[in-house]
Amino acid sequence: MTALLEITNLRARIGDKEILKGLSLTIQQGEIHAIMGPNGSGKSTLANVLMGNPNYVVTGGDIRYKGESLLEMGPDERARKGLFLAFQYPVAIPGVTLVNFMRQALNAVRGQEVPIREFRETLFSKMDLLKVDQDFARRYVNDGFSGGEKKRAEMLQMAMLEPSMAVLDETDSGLDIDALRTVAEGVNTLMNPNMGLLLITHYQRLLNYIKPQFVHVLIEGRIVKSGGPELAEQLEATGYDELEAQLATA
Amino acid sequence: MTTAPESIVSEYKYGFYDPEEALFKSNKGLTAEIVEMISKMKDEPQWMLEFRLKAFETFKQKQNPPWATEQLDDIDFDDIHYFVRATDRDERSWDDVPEYIRRTFDKLGIPEAEKKYLAGVGAQYDSEVVYHNIREDLEKLGVQFLGTDQALKEHEDIFKEHFGTVVPPGDNRFAALNSAVWSGGSFIYVPKGVKVDIPLQAYFRINTQNMGQFERTLIIADEGSQVHYVEGCTAPIYRSDSLHSAVVEIIVKKGARVRYTTIQNWSNNVYNLVTKRAVAYQDAVMEWVDGNLGSKLTMKYPSVYLMEPGAHGEILSLAFAGEGQHQDAGGKIVHAAPNTTSTIISKSLSKDGGRTSYRGLLKVYDGCEGVKANVRCDALLLDQTSRSDTYPTMEIDESDVSIQHEAYVSKLGEDQLFYLMSRGMSEEAAAKMIVNGFVEPIVKELPMEYAVELNRLIELQMDGAVG
């Protein structure tokens, strides 16, 4: 069976600095993976490279999605193929309402005009799911949003676009415990057997609410250790320093 | 014999031209004789002829404004036809307008818009107004909306009382030129307490090659009245340049409210040098919504003089400069009375080497305590080769005031593009969305039909902007 997402020996740099140094990871449909790592380990670089941020240059390896290499595709084409990135720091688009933005995004991803009535019904039901107020849709995209509102807006987009592979970059940061629970419940509802999910996180906290089957530790641009959910708990107990020390002596 | 004008193929959809069938076209160049002839052909009173001749003397003495770029020196005043009469009648029915002219306005969608959402329409073709009409119920209420030439004939008293009082001929070189050779434009009088609920529109079309259009608009809103006037304009694309130099004077009396909206879409061979000024009296509100998308060079700074307490002035300026264009726009607010308030919001976009400049003046006279003023200018550069400058002048001679001023220049954000593209939008769609958002604070002030039109024009300008 072809993997949903297959990253092999991926190398990438931003400017002159190489950040990813041969990263490999395979995700099948129905799987939830978590990548954990300390600051500067390359977590956000991985998220950006997966989505095709032009500021990052891939210098080696490959990313295949449903058997097809993504490297030559722009971010828009990747999105239309079914890839989604929930940003750690979503940017504001002043003057553009969330509802207008969502409509254009949905039309683009579906490759056809979604009838306005259907769009509205879908939007309102997804907003209910994520417990966001309907007024939210009339605000300008991320403009003056609190940290929690930004993350909810990202989840709302994911709910609307129904990707088959979603990457959540530090979705737990900036959320209080109630917001975290709501967002996580939303993600769990959206997850389905045809979909893959990659959680990128510094802390184990999010993993109390969204349960991955696979946990990977990213240090200095490589996955240094993989395991089950117990690995996350172990990391929470010991911290990254101890693991790094172990690896150094190994 | 007339030769066919040289037209250039372009994306500009209004660049078509009619064969020149003018009844009369003055020889190129400007002399006192031509000024006299214009006045005579219009059968004007003696005082107007004298006004024109005096203004002509002033024009000859005046220099270009000190901030003008060298581009303005390229205007050859001897190579311009100053008066082109297409028809000698200002009609009230489109059926009576000569067919080739009517076809042009049909193509521009004017009669259709008139039926759908306007209270009155004026149409100027080259030097003169060829059509003017207003809804009957408004006319019964005493609202006057007619060509300025006709107004001079029919309402000479009120005309003479206000004409040239807001923008005197000596104000600047182009105001002097307009005062000497003015022709056409709109005259509006709204009686006390009458509120015109939907817009009046005038449309200005240049057809003749190498011509100058010098319309003159005078709007008087009497106490407690209200009116929204909209103007649009286009011209054929010729290899040689045309000149458009208008003067607009507005008097907003006690408690009245005037909004003046411009969607300027001249072809890129038109110099657009316009003086627009309003005076607002007690508790009056004057709003300029000034959209500049076309022309080769625009120099235009709509102004509001706040003359009595409680007056409010507002200027929303939107400029888009593409290849070979310079939009030198902005606005001026003069607080000449205490407890007056004002807002200037300027949004400018430049691409393909286009240049936008914000040029503004905020003046508060000594003794005008309690003034509140807010100026905000944002510029967005769509590529590396484009340029934007800000020239804000503040002359604040009173200390008991509240003044805010903010200016930002930004480049089309890579992170914004990436974000929108990660949601499936093409780079071009993403750029358009960012630009639409950028201009939203201005567009949302327009009536729906104009907002749609403006967005469409911006999208046309944006086509091929990226990638």
pLDDT of residue B467: 38
Closest Cα in chain B to A97: B437
Mean pLDDT of B220-244: 94
The answer to whether B433 contacts A101, with C-beta atoms less than 8 Å apart, is yes
Closest Cα in chain A to B416: A91
- Name the one residue in this structure whose structure tokens are 């002043």: A94
End-to-end Cα distance, chain A = 35
**B416 chain-A contacts, CB cut-off 8 A:** 91, 93
Tell me which of B232 and B12 has the higher pLDDT: B232
Instruction: Report the run of H or E that residue B346 belongs to, with start and end.
Output: strand B341-350
The answer to whether A157 contacts B426, with C-beta atoms less than 8 Å apart, is no
pLDDT digits (tens, 9 = 90+) for B140-151: 999 999 999 999
Question: B452 pLDDT exceeds 90?
Answer: no
**A91 chain-B contacts, CB cut-off 8 A:** 413, 415-416, 419
Which of A87, A90, A96 is closest, CB to CB, to B436? A96
Is residue A201 within 8 Å of A36, Cβ to Cβ? yes
Question: B6 pLDDT exceeds 80?
Answer: no
Question: A131 pLDDT exceeds 90?
Answer: no
Closest Cα in chain A to B424: A76
pLDDT of residue B47: 98
Question: B2 pLDDT exceeds 80?
Answer: no
pLDDT digits (tens, 9 = 90+) for A29-47: 999 999 999 988 999 999 9
Residue A250: pLDDT band by 50, 70, 90 thresholds?
Answer: low
Say whether residue A112 is in contact with chain B using an 8 A CB cutoff. Answer: no
Using CA atoms in the order B423, B424, B430, B436, what is the torsion angle rounded to 10 degrees? Answer: -70
* DSSP string across B176-223: HHHHHH----EEEEE-TT-B--S-EEEEEE--STTBEE--EEEEEE-T
B376 to each of B403, B404, B405, how far by Cα in Å?
11, 8, 6
Tell me which of A69 and B8 has the higher pLDDT: A69
The answer to whether A52 contacts B437, with C-beta atoms less than 8 Å apart, is no
pLDDT of residue B3: 44
Structure-token pair, residue A116: 């306005």
Mean pLDDT of A70-84: 97
| DSSP three-state, residue A194 | coil
Mean pLDDT estimate for chain A: 93
Q: Which of A87, A104, A138 to mutate to test the interface with B (most CBs of B within 10 A)?
A: A104
Question: A175 pLDDT exceeds 90?
Answer: no
Q: Quick one: B392 exposed, middle or buried, by C-beta within 10 A (0-12, 13-18, 19+)?
A: middle
- Name the one residue in this structure whose structure tokens are 């954000």: B413
pLDDT of residue B8: 46
CA torsion through residues B375, B381, B382, B386, sign: positive
Mean pLDDT estimate for chain B: 93
Mean pLDDT of B120-129: 94
Mean pLDDT of B270-283: 98
Closest Cα in chain B to A95: B437
Residue ranges of A 152-171 with Cβ closer than 8 A to chain B = 157, 161
End-to-end Cα distance, chain B = 47
Say whether residue A14 is in contact with chain B using an 8 A CB cutoff. Answer: no
Q: Which of A48, A93, A145, A160 to mutate to test the interface with B (most CBs of B within 10 A)?
A: A93
Q: Which of A42-46, A86-90, B116-120 has the lowest mean pLDDT?
A: B116-120
Question: B227 pLDDT exceeds 90?
Answer: yes
